[in-house]
Structure 1
Amino acid sequence: MKLCYAKFNPHQFLECHILDAINVLKSIKNSFSWLEEISPGIFELSFYAVLLHDIGKCASGFQKKKNNWGYRHEILSVPFVQFLDFPERERNIIALAILTHHKTLDDLKDILPVRVADIGPLEFDEKLGELLERADYIEKMFLPRIPNIEAYYFGTTRPPKKFNLPPEWREQLRDFDFQKLIEWYGDNLEAERAILTFMRGLLNASDHLASAGETEILLLPDIAERLELKIPLENLRPLQVAASNSEGNLLLRAPTGYGKTEAALLWANRNAFRNRKGITSRIFYVLPYKASINAMHQRMMGIFSDPSLVGVLHSSASFYLYSSALEYRRLSSLYHKIYTPLKVTTPFQLMKAFFGVGFHEMLKTELSGSLLIFDEIHAYEPNVLGIILAMLKELEHLKAKTMVMTATLPDFLEELIKDTTNFRKLKASPEEADMFTRHRVNVVNGSMDSVRELIDELGLHRKIKETSKPALIACNSVDRAMSVYDELGEDYRVLLLHSRFTQGDRETKERLLLEKMSEYDFVIATQVVEVSLDVSFSTILTEPAPLDALIQRFGRVNRQGWREGKVEDVYVLTKGSEADKKIYTPYEVVEESLKMLQDFDGKELRESLIPELVSRAYMPVSDKLVDEVRYYQNMAQEVFNNVKPMMEGEDEQKFYQMFNGLEAVPGTYQGIASELLDKKMGMEVYRYLIPIPWWFYKAEQENFHRLSDTGYGKYILVAELEYNPDKGLQRVPLSGGEIL
């Protein structure tokens, strides 16, 4: 009797892989109890899908050639479903899950067997013949183990076994009608949408984790117990206590520095599904920027310690893990599966489930019963916010709960969120909020064109000397930041920070700022400073911006001053540059913000006033923004409704174009990147990549070219523009010329 392997590196017998996958499924079954409420019977049907999904690998051609066999093993696995003692509906659901556990129905439609009169044997018949060469293995090794596997999964009180091979099973395999199965899918899609989604999601999760060497999903320990090691429960603030006692969706408004993250974790602890081993709900902590996600991941690691418990998901997460000396290959893979219980992520990673991107059913299964924490939700553009609101509506049907928290949320945005689904609201009292007041606003007539004179006029040198901390100069555009850097670089110790540095140079700059902050007079930065490092500057001189953005910038000054009741001056210029009107649209928000700040010139900006002031700043354009958000929300809902389980999303390519910018290697580093690729050191290439927004690429398109194919249908983009580690990528052609 010839043996049958499911995996080859290292070798693993079919029944061993099946048992590993059943172990994963059982661990999900014991944790995701809510799935039975949404789709009754889901875990029984999933068991048989997992049991039979790889039996087609027994074909001798697969055993000899593995991935070079040239046929889909799942097509050979599907006909075995007819031997299950289930009604036709359940058999079809199991069959579709098996058929699509690697490829979607779109991918398979042209290669499924079609019986036509007067046409001889099909390729399917030939491959089935190869499978039947291992009939002894199926009958004498695989089949006898099934009752024990059933008893292990269902318990010893299990009814009689559901899978039975009849004597004529070989002939019946050949007669399986795939076209009838596909027709059933089309006729029953709407009625069976949920169970088809979860069936494919559970089979993918079980198969992928078993293939990765895992036999169970992880659960989070009690969050309150972990937090108590950091914060004694008697020291919790009122809103943190209130959040820990709040059930259902929650909207939390509190000042920066209040401890909203702890409040969110306590809310999650209260609302989580759990079993005797721990918290079973998956928790997603959603932030808009990679820098803040990385920082939050490190913070969560300080609470939960184990990188297997705390995941990170964004487009550069693998490089972040690699740079953090973590097991980046293993963890990057596991973070995309139903394995890690807490994930810090961008909203775009979650949107994939609703746009039909990748194995969207697995992500949607993981999002069921989940707890989502949206931090800094005010930071999104109207199109992204509309998609998030549509997503929140979908998540309601999946028994998920959501918490939204912010320090600066305009009233119109709050109403949009509350209109989407029911939210309880928690807000710091004026007296408590004012305890966090730490900035005195000064409106300065002028622009960055006269930055040298302003530094002297405002006496910023004295503040720098007194505190041994640099002052922050915040610019709205990279080009403006570069010009200020050139202006001050000759006479002052300056550091420039913006989005057009390579990953490696950005890391170096951030490390210098953390470790040698006192060695600089000025840090010149763009909006990246609003969300990046946990550093505290002596003061700030900033270009005008929307009030909520200014509040974020002020938050980089005197960060812990509230502890001592200390208030520091912050300076806002009255004029920006022409580029600002393209960066901030509608620009009326900036004008209204400046007008309001004039009333606070020379006065403390009390934290209790900030929500009202931010709402007033957006009031002139709130109706327009509401309409824009609603438009994108409705458009997203239409896309979501068109996504079909087991099918590829029609808008997958559009999704990546919408949200995945470009990354390029500066021409200066082209040789290094080529050498690293030749040495198969692709991860090191990330150090030389710069994120490039679409508008920049289109404006400078003639200065970009493709370096080489990486062997996976991908390429490296090269920016033939001037670059140096001090200033970053400039809009000057590498060969010389004028700034465009």
Structure 2
Amino acid sequence: MAKFNPNDFLECHVNDALNVMKSIKTAFPWISEIRKNFWELLFYSILLHDLGKCSVGFQRAGAKGEIWGYRHEILSTAFTQFLDCVEEERNLIALAILTHHRYLNDLPVPTKAEEFVWMSYLERVDELLENSDYVEEVFMPKIPYWEIYVFGKTIGKFKLSDDWKKGIKEYNFDGLLNWYDRNWEKYKEELIFLKGLLNACDHLSSAGENSVRLLPFIAEVIAFRIPREEWRPLQKQANQIKGNLLLRAPTGYGKTESALLWADANSHSTKRGVSNRIFYVLPYKASINAMYDRMLEYFKSPELVGVLHSSSSYYLYASNFEYKRLSSLYQKIFTPLKVTTPFQIMKAFFGVGFFEMTLSELKNALLIFDEIHAYEPNILGIILAMLEILKEHKTKALIMSATLPDFIEELFIELLNPEKLKIPSEDADRFTRHRVKIVKGNIEENLQSFAEKFKERNLTPALIACNTVDRAIEVYKRLKSLGYRVMLLHSRFTYGNREELERKLRRDLDGYDFVVATQVVEVSLDISFQTILTEPAPLDALIQRFGRVNRQGWKEKRIADVYVLTDGSEKDENVYKPYDVVRESIKILKNLDGQELKESLIPNLVSEAYSKIKSQLVKEIEEHRLTALELFEDLQPLKKTESEHQFYRMFQGLEVVPVRFADKAVRLIKSGRGIEVHRYLVPLPYWKFYALQDKFGEIFWYDRDHRIIIANLKYSHETGLMDEVCNEIGII
């Protein structure tokens, strides 16, 4: 047996894995560029990767549902000595097999220098040889048939010698490790792709899949929903451009379809469909989930469209999909189109998880970066570094945004030398929906008068946009005390509460006079307000906020007023660094006070807002790019590296369970419904976590048994997680 519960014979598992390999071989012909006989090396890696499971110890333990306590891949590796090929090829196959479950620095590799480890290996070899008749009489005779099935001919490079049992006992692991240390840089690409694709074939076959999926012909799918004669000029142009592309267009123009049509023009097609992997990259989970739903409308099957972010498993669960199966498959080379965050791709470059598998999938891939303007300088630097490395692997990229500052555009132009597409000014201006109105002072001074004004003029539901959670809570309480129907929305609600609030808004927006929200409103709500009163922010962020007002107004040539305050709060300088860009943005908008915000002007206005700090930001982006490149160049295949810890330190915030839900979370975990704990998690950036610890002391504790962080802070369904210690007795 290769697997237990359910049982799977070793020959069946090998056969299934070879089926996956055959589908990858057809779908990804460019893999042959790595090495002329790459597919042969992968074939023999798959053939031998589980042969160590023949050990009677493994079979007995598995039949009883127990853990064997020894790594079967160590025994499998020893069989590579009987391959009739040059030493480097034998070693490449051996290393792929040896590390297909664990990295080299996590494995007790039996070197003769460590007597105890070596003696343990010899004992396990004896257990293996008890089933030598299976190897000789059942497994070996099948090999020629598998070779014919995959290659159309016998190759005959694996032959057991007469003294093979002695050879297994004498395998030179020291020599293999020494060869790796001397040669890993020279054979870096072969090692990455051999291990990556062995993992892909092994994991998919173990999951019951026999092939990777291909996307149907993209232009035909789009034409089914939008007839070709109705495609906009930009969409038609995108469908003609081969190579990298930089695309600017206003919200509502149809950038998503333009991106898909660009992917169609740059894809490799087989008779069955498009075989390149396509990654549609967005900065926020809410916009990713919405785009996943949209892509499913086009391509219908969740096997063709995947979603991947830190809480995508819960999103699938809540959407009534087969969340366990799909979450697992979306992390493998299975789904042809993935909607994801940049962090999921970055993981591979930082050596996180089965990074070789992701790097293998990225060769010849098509990357679509939507809302590229939304990233901090450190993320932009890392994205540029990734694209620089992927250029060598013929990966193509589409960069698109409605509000991309010129200096960031120039960085991508310098790296990618892309074609540029933007719509003519007169076309862009047809999407104009907003008139700017500047309001002197801060929100405290103006809130009551504007609330009355909006109500009197029938401009509700209106959006009140704040820069900090604390300010949003203050504004919410004040409006509530004045008797208005108000909803509060910010990032410090539990995921479940937030989902509930957004669902209420979509269902009954007119049931509210005001929605008070922080930056979450810039990305998460596909609803349309009558108007907005917003605290000052960088111009690109303000334009995103305006985008929640009069969303379809361009269709009826209707213009809505958007009100921007000149003053924020003291804490805003911690939110927007450097704050100069906010001051410059307000100065620009003052010059437009009372005028329509023409869509054609937006790119230049955003560039102007950043003009005084652009050299500072470019320097910062460049520093992060160079640091990332150094890290990526040092990435060692088959080994877990320090950069994995660096990745989590850089990007992962914390998710905490407010103490009032601790009992509920523990009960869910104990009853096997741990996935539902996600509903009770509140995301906290590290800076906020440390600020709260400094203020209140040890208010967070880690429940090791259930692997959750509990926050001893007050929580209200109305206002979210508060900066107040919870002193209620018996709350847990």
TM-score interval (norm. to shorter) = over 0.9
- 1:118-160 CA deviation, whole Å, 9 max, x = no partner? 99971111100100000111111101111101100111xx254
Select 2:4's aligned residue among 8, 30, 34.
8
- For 1:618, the equivalent position in structure 2 comes to 610
Point out the more displaced range, 512-521 or 696-705.
696-705
- For 1:189, the equivalent position in structure 2 comes to 184
On the 8 A contact 1:441/1:601 being kept in 2, the answer is yes
- 1:380-429 CA deviation, whole Å, 9 max, x = no partner? 11111101110110111121100000000111101111122221111111
Residue 501 of structure 2 aligns with an amino acid whose one-letter code is K
- For 1:86, the equivalent position in structure 2 comes to 85
Q: Name the SS of the counterpart of 1:472 in structure 2.
A: strand
Cα distance in 2 for residues equivalent to 1:553 and 1:120: 62
Q: Name the SS of the counterpart of 2:564 in structure 1.
A: strand
Cα distance in 2 for residues equivalent to 1:49 and 1:326: 34
Cα distance in 2 for residues equivalent to 1:516 and 1:377: 32
- For 1:247, the equivalent position in structure 2 comes to 242
Point out the more displaced range, 623-632 or 717-726.
717-726
- For 1:103, the equivalent position in structure 2 comes to 102
Cα distance in 1 for residues equivalent to 2:25 and 2:646: 35
Cα distance in 2 for residues equivalent to 1:306 and 1:513: 29
Residue 146 of structure 2 aligns with an amino acid whose one-letter code is I
Cα distance in 2 for residues equivalent to 1:163 and 1:365: 26
Deviation at 1:55, TM superposition (A): 0.2
Q: 1:119 to 1:395 in 2, by over 3 A?
A: closer
Select 2:559's aligned residue among 561, 564, 567.
567
> 1:203 aligned to 2:194?
no
Cα distance in 2 for residues equivalent to 1:169 and 1:354: 40
On the 8 A contact 1:643/1:650 being kept in 2, the answer is no
On the 8 A contact 2:436/2:595 being kept in 1, the answer is yes
> 1:482 aligned to 2:481?
no
Select 2:120's aligned residue among 118, 123, 140.
123
> 1:516 aligned to 2:508?
yes
Cα distance in 2 for residues equivalent to 1:606 and 1:452: 27
On the 8 A contact 2:660/2:715 being kept in 1, the answer is yes
Residue 468 of structure 2 aligns with an amino acid whose one-letter code is S
On the 8 A contact 1:42/1:198 being kept in 2, the answer is no
Cα distance in 1 for residues equivalent to 2:496 and 2:114: 64
Deviation at 1:229, TM superposition (A): 2.2
Give 1:471-620 correspondences, 5 Å limit: 471-490=462-481, 491-620=483-612
On the 8 A contact 1:273/1:369 being kept in 2, the answer is no
- For 1:336, the equivalent position in structure 2 comes to 331
Cα distance in 2 for residues equivalent to 1:290 and 1:616: 29
- For 2:45, the equivalent position in structure 1 comes to 49
Residue 310 of structure 1 aligns with an amino acid whose one-letter code is V
- For 2:134, the equivalent position in structure 1 comes to 137
On the 8 A contact 2:110/2:117 being kept in 1, the answer is no
Point out the more displaced range, 608-617 or 65-74.
65-74
Residue 74 of structure 2 aligns with an amino acid whose one-letter code is I
Give 1:83-482 correspondences, 5 Å limit: 83-108=82-107, 111-115=108-112, 122-155=119-152, 158-456=153-451, 459-463=453-457, 465=458, 470-482=461-473
Q: 1:527 to 1:203 in 2, by over 3 A?
A: same
- 1:184-208 CA deviation, whole Å, 9 max, x = no partner? 1111112111010000000000001
- 1:469-524 CA deviation, whole Å, 9 max, x = no partner? 51011001111100000000131111111000001101110100001111011111
Q: 1:632 to 1:485 in 2, by over 3 A?
A: same
Deviation at 1:454, TM superposition (A): 3.2
TM-score normalised over the length of structure 1: 0.96
Point out the more displaced range, 647-656 or 24-33.
647-656
Q: Name the SS of the counterpart of 1:723 in structure 2.
A: strand
Q: Percent identity?
A: 55
Q: 1:484 to 1:160 in 2, by over 3 A?
A: closer
- For 1:21, the equivalent position in structure 2 comes to 17
Q: Name the SS of the counterpart of 1:559 in structure 2.
A: coil
On the 8 A contact 1:376/1:405 being kept in 2, the answer is yes
Deviation at 1:44, TM superposition (A): 1.3
Q: 1:414 to 1:573 in 2, by over 3 A?
A: same
Q: Name the SS of the counterpart of 1:372 in structure 2.
A: strand
Deviation at 1:561, TM superposition (A): 0.8
Deviation at 1:703, TM superposition (A): 5.3
Give the RMSD, CA atoms, in angstroms: 1.5
- 1:89-108 CA deviation, whole Å, 9 max, x = no partner? 11111111000000111112
Deviation at 1:377, TM superposition (A): 0.8
Give 1:688-703 correspondences, 5 Å limit: 688-701=680-693, 702=697
Cα distance in 1 for residues equivalent to 2:657 and 2:155: 62
Q: Name the SS of the counterpart of 1:374 in structure 2.
A: strand
Q: 1:16 to 1:626 in 2, by over 3 A?
A: same
Cα distance in 1 for residues equivalent to 2:400 and 2:447: 39
Cα distance in 2 for residues equivalent to 1:148 and 1:516: 64
- 1:699-726 CA deviation, whole Å, 9 max, x = no partner? 1122533252246xxx211121121111
> 1:656 aligned to 2:642?
no
On the 8 A contact 1:703/1:719 being kept in 2, the answer is no
Point out the more displaced range, 445-454 or 595-604.
445-454
Q: Name the SS of the counterpart of 2:612 in structure 1.
A: helix
Query: Structure 2 regions of 5+ residues with no counterpart?
Result: none
Query: Structure 1 regions of 5+ residues with no counterpart?
Result: none
Residue 179 of structure 2 aligns with an amino acid whose one-letter code is W
On the 8 A contact 1:677/1:710 being kept in 2, the answer is no
Deviation at 1:452, TM superposition (A): 3.4
Cα distance in 2 for residues equivalent to 1:650 and 1:508: 40
Residue 620 of structure 2 aligns with an amino acid whose one-letter code is E
Residue 14 of structure 1 aligns with an amino acid whose one-letter code is L
Deviation at 1:227, TM superposition (A): 1.1
- 1:252-286 CA deviation, whole Å, 9 max, x = no partner? 01111111111000000110112111110010000
Point out the more displaced range, 416-425 or 582-591.
416-425
Cα distance in 1 for residues equivalent to 2:606 and 2:321: 41
Deviation at 1:39, TM superposition (A): 3.2
Cα distance in 2 for residues equivalent to 1:456 and 1:342: 45
Q: Name the SS of the counterpart of 2:80 in structure 1.
A: helix
Deviation at 1:116, TM superposition (A): 5.3
4+ runs of 1 displaced by more than 6 Å?
Answer: 117-121
Q: 1:727 to 1:34 in 2, by over 3 A?
A: same
Q: Name the SS of the counterpart of 1:190 in structure 2.
A: coil
Q: Name the SS of the counterpart of 2:613 in structure 1.
A: helix
Q: Name the SS of the counterpart of 2:167 in structure 1.
A: helix
Figure out how many residues of one structure are paired with residues of the other and give that number: 721
Q: 1:117 to 1:516 in 2, by over 3 A?
A: closer
Q: 1:140 to 1:621 in 2, by over 3 A?
A: same
Cα distance in 2 for residues equivalent to 1:228 and 1:282: 21
Cα distance in 1 for residues equivalent to 2:709 and 2:286: 23
Cα distance in 1 for residues equivalent to 2:294 and 2:189: 36
Cα distance in 2 for residues equivalent to 1:415 and 1:528: 28
